[in-house]
Chains A and B, each alone.
Chain A
Amino acid sequence: MLLERRMAEKVIDLALEKGADFAEVYAERRVSMTLSLEDGKLEKSSSGLDLGASVRAIKDRSTSFVSTDSLEEEPLLEAARLAGEGAADGGGRAHALGGGKVADKHFIEVSPASVAAAAKVELLSAADGAARAVGTEIVQAMIGYNDTCSEVMVASSEGCFVTEERTRVRLVARIVAVREGLMQTGYDSVGAHKGMELFQERDPAAVGETAAKKARTMLDSRPAPSGKMTVVLHRGFGGVLFHEACGHGLEADAVEKGASVFADKTGEKVASELVTLVDDGSIAGEWGSNAIDDEGVPTGRNVLIEAGFLRGYMYDRLRARNAGVESTGNGRRQSFRHPPIPRMTNTFILDGESSVSEVFASTDSGFFAKTLSGGQVDPATGDFVFGVSEGYMIEAGRVTYPLRGATLIGNGPAVLKNVDMVADDFEMNIGVCGKDGQGVPAGSGQPTLRILDLTVGGTEV
């Protein structure tokens, strides 16, 4: 335990003293290593330690939060006192803390801490070599590697006293290809809540090669068209569309303020019956998974949309308390310096019954979005965009030529209703989701599927 039970109790008691009705201490110790390779050589290597805690006191709906980068008694008690003063009047009482449970779900075979930096460098070199072997058009390969091992501990006035160790590794490749003055990029990545064994399962060379092939393919691209099209979203990466299009609108902070197009729609049909959307932070080894969320609540499988009907939202403790429901284990924070807010974990669309070949064959004319570069949504209006870094034209049921410079734009509720085919080739992908200035690892996934009447924003009218 990062904090002794007696210390945690003292902090919570002090934070409650001025009348808060809930108090919590979150402690974290995080060690991390980052390597970056560019121009064919290992350019930057860094590693480090972040250690600290935050105390949160809640009175009614008002939160007071104070962080300190120390686990020593004096600064912790000072943080507790300040947090308690920020949530004054009334009177709260703490339950005795629980048994000091160790949440354990992710078995790490090879801890990054046990592997020499030189061995990690070889992973980057493998990705670089494979990328450059793709062709003479490849002029630059930027390979990044990061591992993070953290220990988190949560204790609260509701009796929660739990800890978890978390290990994540990630490798990304950004490739630049040039031909006759046209410069294009390709991207690929792997990551998991796992140790170095990830790279036995997923060859780093394949990451470099995949990204390089994308960049090279895009050299043959034509400028993307403009206007409404039938869009086929590739498995895996396509899941980020649903992350933006409806995931954020199903997070309870937007919902409780009525600042979501999905507020007050539980039980209503909000999507095509082909759409079942799930958030599951409990899948072993998955990038967005943890055994507990950052408020000590066990993660789980939450069905958000079932065969088109809205079933529920994603809650943290505070929003669950406000709504009179249980937390769904979606309270997440970037670090001890950030307050928890409702966040997605791994969010995905389940397999449908069409085959991939059927999806393409039945598309007379359309746009195939194979790789997406991320997006953004306004949860209040449901309007979202996302960039397509690898797109293709579909003509007479066949993928024909690559297209560059397209962004897809649409409205979440409208797009959900326009999903008319879902294939059976499910895949997950990884990313970092940003919200309120906090970045957290988030997975998204889906099978190949088709959306009618989505606006493709290219340059050719």
Chain B
Amino acid sequence: MLDIAKKALEYASGRGVEQAEAYVSRSRSTSIKIYQRKVDELLSNSGSGAGIRVIAGGSAGYAYTSDLSDEGLARAAAEARDNAAVTAPDEFTGLPSPATEFARMNLYNDKLQQTPLGEKIELAKSVEAAALEYDQRVAQVEQAAYSESQAEVAIANTLGFARSYRETSCYAFTMAIALQNGEMQTGVSFTTGREPGQLDGRACGSEAAARAVSLLGAAQSESMTCPVVMDPFVTAGLIGVIGLALTGESVQKQRSLFAGLEGRQVAGTGFTLVDDGIHPEGLASAPFDGEGVPTQQTPLIKNGALQGYLYDTYSARKDGCASTGNGIRGSYSAIPHVGPTNLRVQGGKGSQDEIIASVEKGFFVSEVSGIHSGANAVSGDFSVGAAGHLIESGRLTVPVREVTIAGDILSMLKAIEAVGDDCRWIPFGGSIHAPTVLVGKMTVSGR
């Protein structure tokens, strides 16, 4: 892999090119879908490709190819040079100087590859079985899936950086459907790890079933303003949106709701958020980012006060600071951008039950929908679909669906009154480690 990256660099160098970088990745992924105790779909993908960046005349240009032959690399290198010619020159454009110290993490687990396919199929089947066995009202499991990937990433640049790493990851996911008197409710769950032995398939199935069953009989509630307890699934949705606004780039470009608030109180005092690129369990962890900069732990919000922002090399130079290792490159074909790695909320005190018990009258939200359309990381407007239960005298009572919860993001963060000790990894909309939280006041819209 590194050899290919170095070869790509040779093709990209010269002819007025000041700096060049090659990102080469190779991955194999398999996914298994079970339906009614049989394999519904068995998918296997293998692919590789190279992304090339050149800087010529102070301008950056990118190109990619899935063709790693000499001819393919040469063509991509030439395209990258052509593309640089149309990009505006910028004094802050440039590649990072090579670092020498990188966090040591075990991202690759041999067991992923060694585990026979049959065992992985059994794991996926156990997810479905656990959901069906959980409650007789679980009519079916629309999807029970196991998915895994192993990848190798190599980056080389003309400043002398040349490194690679390997990683494995896998997850199981399911959606259960509960049925009662012609009414259907759904519940999802998942479990993640570096190899299938780390996945708890039965817990995944049971949780999805429990979530679906708990919503049976749900109806729209009245519109009200009240305290809202967010399940970790829901907290993660909110954190994912915040992550977009916590980059140095979005602040520089006047499209962040956190602009100008550094050092100020932006959340409840119990709320601490870190971007953690080196956590061994975080599926977004890597020794270095998409530009070869070492990843790190970057405090974003500490005890409610805004600490700083995430940077790639370009946006860091613009602000006269160092990259935080957040130059994200989703794949060889993606243009790098600034973004979070693993966003981790620091666990607080109390279980979900204890937090619910502290609320006299409120709304417990177990799932949200429409985050990508209803939450705006620029304006801070937040209104999303929600389902869950009413809280009365500290206990969950009537199930509720077809309502929205709304507020503006800064007011919501400031209204965080309690943070639970039940952090868990949520792989939706990023890699997020989130607990139950209590937001003191939000608007619930229904009848």
Contact = CB atoms under 8 A, between A and B. Distances in A.
Interface of A: 34-36, 38-39, 41-52, 61-69, 82, 86-87, 117-118, 120-121, 139-140, 142, 176, 178, 182-185, 218, 224, 226-228, 254, 257-259, 261, 337, 339, 372-376, 378, 380-381, 383-387, 389, 404-407, 409-411, 455-461
B88 A42 contact: yes
Interface in B85-105: 85-88, 90
Contacts of B44: 65-67, 82, 86
Given A44-B60, A117-B85, A375-B373, 12 more contacts: A49-B66, A62-B38, A120-B86, A183-B257, A224-B406, A257-B140, A378-B369, A383-B387, A407-B404, A409-B370, A455-B446, A458-B445
A39 B86 CA distance: 16
B115 interface: no
Interface stretch (B279-287, B342-350, B378-386, B430-438): B378-386
Nearest to B381: A405
Interface string B42-54: 1111111101000
Given A185-B379, A385-B404, A139 B254 contact: yes
B39 interface: yes
Interface string B394-414: 000000011111111000000
A32 to B, nearest CB: 8
A116 B63 CA distance: 16
Contacts of A67: 44-47
Contacts of B296: none
Given A44-B60, A387-B383, A61 B40 contact: yes
Contact of A383 (B38, B51, B380, B401): B401
Contact of B186 (A34, A45, A178, A380): A380
B443 A460 contact: yes
B403 A457 contact: yes
A341 to B, nearest CB: 10
B401 A183 contact: no
Nearest to B60: A44
A337 B45 contact: yes
A184 B379 contact: yes
B87 A62 contact: no
Contacts of A261: 184
Nearest to B367: A378
Nearest to B35: A257
B363 interface: no
A183 B373 contact: no
Main secondary structure of the interface of A (DSSP, over half): strand
A73 to B, nearest CB: 15
A456 B445 contact: yes
B372 interface: yes
A48 B255 contact: no
Interface stretch (B76-84, B123-131, B199-207): B76-84
Interface residues of B, number: 79
Contacts of B381: 404-405
Contact of B384 (A36, A43, A49, A407): A407
Contacts of B72: 49
Given A48-B333, A339-B41, A381 B186 contact: yes
Interface of B: 35, 38-49, 51, 60-67, 72, 75-76, 79, 82-88, 90, 139-140, 142, 177, 184-186, 220, 223-225, 253-255, 257, 333, 335, 369-370, 372-374, 376, 378-385, 387, 401-408, 443-447
Nearest to B177: A380
Contacts of A461: 223-225, 443, 445
A374 B373 contact: yes
B402 A228 contact: no
B90 A41 contact: yes
B373 A140 contact: no
Given A227-B447, A339-B41, A381 B184 contact: yes
A46 B384 CA distance: 34
Contacts of A374: 370, 372-373
Contacts of B387: 383
B100 to A, nearest CB: 29
B385 A38 contact: no
A344 to B, nearest CB: 17
Contacts of A63: 40-42
A405 B64 CA distance: 39
**Closest A-B pairs by Cβ, 3 of them:** A457-B404, A385-B385, A387-B373
A34 B86 CA distance: 12
Contacts of A254: 142
Given A49-B66, A51-B66, A226-B445, A65 B43 contact: yes
